[in-house]
Homo-oligomer: A and B are copies of this chain.
Amino acid sequence: MAQAVRHDAMRARNLALVLGEVNARGSLTRAALAEITGLTKTTVSKLVADLIEAGLVVETGAVRDGERGRPGVVVRVSGEHVASVGLEINVDYLAVRVVDLSRTVRLRRTQAVDNRFAQPGDVVALLRDLALKAVDDAVDMGLRVVGGVLAVPGPVDQRTGTVHNAPNLGWRDVPVAALLELPFPVQVENEANLAALGELWFGSGLSDFLHVSGEIGIGAGLVVRGRLFQGSHGFAGELGHVVVSPDGPACRCGGKGCLEQYASQDALAAATGLPPGAGPHGNGAQRTGAQAGGASGNGTQATPGGTTAGDISWIVSRLEAGDAAALAACERAGWALGVALSSAINLVDPDTIVLGGIYGPLFPWIGEAVAATLTSRLGQMRDAVPPVVVSRLGTEAAALGAAGQVIQRVIADPAALLQT
């Protein structure tokens, strides 16, 4: 019995070793895998056969010259069988993404809603419908969804899947994982952390950056040498509540003068002249649609399946029309973002700042103020102020990071999947 347990543990470790190398290197022959892992060719062949049977790995058909002239068949991670679902509950939209094991995005669904005045149960039920439809469509593509991660805008107790506190949703201690009741395991994680991982896995290829998620709330995720920094309890990255001005406007968090009071979507809409909640989606109109592919949310127009729209496209249209209030709101938001980021840079020393979410479409109007504020506050201390760039993922980053998190876990422990 103990012998069997030990054998299982060793097999699990070796499956992870082989799949990890295939994933990291793109494609490999069995002979190359044996050489890299130090396992015998017989062991590698058995492990690869198990991974092929489980649909995690596939032979490409390509043949590569091996040692001593014997050609070998190349294997790679299979995108044809196993998939994950990335889910997101945000203040003004719900999102679902299906990603296959080769990290190709297979399905995108976004629904604009206003979750601020909705009951958590109703929001979760709507998301559940969206997710189940996406899973059905994935099945039609021949994919098996093995797990999901849900992104929420606030700190989460990851063990219980409970949203601790999401002030912009008005949620407190909501057991969202339990409410969701999907036919596969779902982890719940902070939206800003997942958006940073989305940028890491699906973005511009950087491995050292602070990713800022501009939404109704503002969060951040710090990636250092390819790893997410989460702090002592997983609550790091609450950039939206960094102090810009200690006696500034009261914030939902209980503080005053937090960054969200200057640079969130609501703050920008209010300063532009739109009362919060009165945007194009404030009347409860809901839009949904599937997109064939391509990142969305970083354009300035609401698309048929757009992921942001609502207030932000309205703000952008005012900016494009040269509206003075909108321009002043962006100038102020850029300055505030620069102040908060200068505190963040002093504290956590990121290599690059990646602006995501609403800061993508707003960048032409806030970028200069952010950069000028950073230079004036940091330029004398440092040879170089960290560059500020725009994420190409827009508001899609969190849901993609969520889906990618599941893929990461399958790659790290394929044996768990083989047993089911």
Contact = CB atoms under 8 A, between A and B. Distances in A.
A232 B242 contact: no
B349 A347 contact: no
Given A233-B351, A381-B167, A238 B376 contact: no
Contact of A254 (B208, B231, B232, B380): B380
Contacts of A244: 243, 246
Nearest to A235: B349
A20 interface: no
A45 B246 CA distance: 63
A389 interface: no
Given A230-B349, A379-B254, A245 B242 contact: no
A348 B348 contact: yes
Interface in A142-190: 155, 164-165, 167
A379 to B, nearest CB: 6
Contacts of A276: none
Contact of A339 (B220, B225, B246): B246
A255 interface: yes
A236 B343 CA distance: 11
Nearest to A335: B246
A384 to B, nearest CB: 10
Contact of A348 (B164, B231, B380): B231
A342 interface: yes
Q: Is the interface of A mostly helix, strand, loop or mixed?
A: loop
A54 interface: no
Nearest to A242: B343
B349 A348 contact: no
User: What is the count of identical protomers in the complex?
Assistant: 2
Nearest to A376: B254
Interface string A217-259: 0001000110001111111111101111111000001111000
Interface string A356-390: 00000000000000000000111111110000000
Interface in A189-234: 208, 220, 224-225, 229-234
A346 interface: yes
Nearest to A344: B347
A330 to B, nearest CB: 17
A303 B32 CA distance: 68
A156 to B, nearest CB: 13
A342 B243 CA distance: 8
A192 to B, nearest CB: 11
A255 B351 contact: no
Contact of A246 (B164, B245, B351): B245
A350 interface: yes
A87 to B, nearest CB: 24
Question: 10 tightest A-B contacts by CB?
Answer: A231-B349, A254-B380, A238-B346, A255-B377, A236-B349, A232-B351, A235-B349, A242-B343, A241-B346, A208-B232
